[in-house]
A and B are shown apart, each in its own frame.
Chain A
């Protein structure tokens, strides 16, 4: 039981490049989330998916897109990376249905130059 896994662990992009961050969970959770964490700040929600087939914007969605590929997988795409998107990205999941214990992946450290 791996919990929440994320790939890659580290990534360096040039401004304007695109990439997709992958996330998968094996806990049969219904809801999945993408956060970014910047120094001195807490985690901020980018997008979430309350169930397979649905996605919604969080607090800071600009510059990102997401896909809930199936119940297990939730990907985050940067179409044209900007230096302001340099951050650590975390994927998380919850069972949902009034159970809000949220479990996090190990994170992806992204640097945009």
Chain B
């Protein structure tokens, strides 16, 4: 299957700091998505991106669809304790097969 590489694997930050993470692929995608997963729960969709170069915000979260279509970025501004969790990127071309990254684990220190 296609490999999506997420970095960093884990982050420990102080409350109030901004966070950046990224996801790269060996193949191009038409759609990139970002999810957050809390322990014992299913992933929750944060942002969907449909166009290369697109920048989309959802509250304090901003995601970008890379211009090469092989990468995507997620930023979280002014982190708060409830931002703790694992963030996954995913890519798809047809909506049939979705490929997921291995996740970035975020810890926010109050």
Interface set of A (CB-CB < 8 Å, partner B): 4, 31, 33, 40-45, 48, 50, 56, 58-59, 90, 92, 94, 96, 98-107
Contacts and interface: CB of A to CB of B under 8 A. Distances in A.
B88 A42 contact: yes
Given A42-B88, A42-B102, A43-B88, A98 B45 contact: no
Contacts of A98: 95
B98 interface: yes
Contacts, number: 64
Between B42, B48, B50, B103, the greatest number of chain A beta carbons within 10 A of the residue's beta carbon is seen for B42
B76 interface: no
Interface string B36-58: 00001111110010100000000
B98 A33 contact: yes
Interface residues of B, number: 25
A100 B92 contact: yes
B102 A59 contact: no
B101 interface: yes
A44 B100 contact: yes
A48 B1 contact: no
A105 B97 CA distance: 18
Nearest to A50: B96
Given A42-B88, A100-B92, A102-B98, 15 more contacts: A31-B95, A31-B96, A42-B4, A42-B99, A42-B101, A44-B1, A44-B100, A50-B95, A56-B96, A100-B95, A100-B98, A101-B45, A104-B42, A104-B43, A106-B41
